[in-house]
Amino acid sequence: MALAVRRVTVLGATGSIGVSTLDVIARHPDRFRLHAITAHRNAERLFEQCLRYQPDYALIDDAVSARELRERLADAGCRTRLLSGRRDLCELAASDESDTVVAGIVGAAGLEPTLAAVRAGKRVLLANKEALVMAGPVFMQAVRDHGAELLPLDSEHNAIFQCLPPGFQPGQLLPAGVRRILLTASGGPFREHDLAALEHVTPDEACAHPNWDMGRKISVDSATMMNKGLELIEACWLFDLVGTDVEVVVHPQSVVHSLVSYADGSVLAQLGNPDMRTPIAHALGFPERLEAGVQPLDLMAVARLDFRPPDMQRFPCLRLAYEALASGGTACATLNAANEIAVDAFLDGRLGFVGIARLVEQTLQLTSLSKLESLDDALAADIAARALAERLLPTLEGRS
State which CATH number among 1.10.1740.10, 1.10.150.120, 2.60.40.10, 1.20.1050.10 fits the domain covering 328-400: 1.10.1740.10
**Which pTM was predicted?**
0.92
**Mean pLDDT for all residues in the chain:** 92
Q: What's the pLDDT score for residue 1?
A: 45
- For residue range 313-338, what is the model confidence (pLDDT) as tens digits? 999 999 999 999 999 999 999 999 99
Q: Is the peptide bond before 287 cis (omega within 30 degrees of 0)?
A: yes
* Boundaries of every domain in the chain: 6-152, 155-272+296-313, 328-400
User: Which CATH code is given to the segment(s) 6-152?
Assistant: 3.40.50.720
Q: What's the pLDDT score for residue 213?
A: 63
Taking the chain (400 residues) in consecutive chunks of 10 residues, what is each chunk's mean pLDDT?
Answer: 83 95 97 97 95 97 90 95 95 97 92 96 95 95 96 95 86 82 90 80 80 77 93 95 94 95 96 95 96 95 94 94 96 96 94 95 95 95 97 78
Of 124, 162, 144, 157, nearest in space to 6 by CA: 124
- Which H helix or E strand runs over 334? helix 331-347
Cα Rg for the chain, rounded, in angstroms? 21
Single-letter amino acid, residue 278: T
Q: What's the pLDDT score for residue 108?
A: 87
Q: Assign residue 20 a region: left if phi > 0, alpha if psi is -120 to 50, beta otherwise?
A: alpha
Q: Taking CA 144 as the corner, what is the angle to CA 138 and CA 146, rounded to the nearest 5 degrees?
A: 95
Q: What's the pLDDT score for residue 207?
A: 83
Q: What's the pLDDT score for residue 63?
A: 86
Between the CA of residue 191 and those of 66, 156, 231, 308, 372, what are the distances in Å?
A: 42, 19, 18, 11, 35
Q: What's the pLDDT score for residue 258?
A: 97
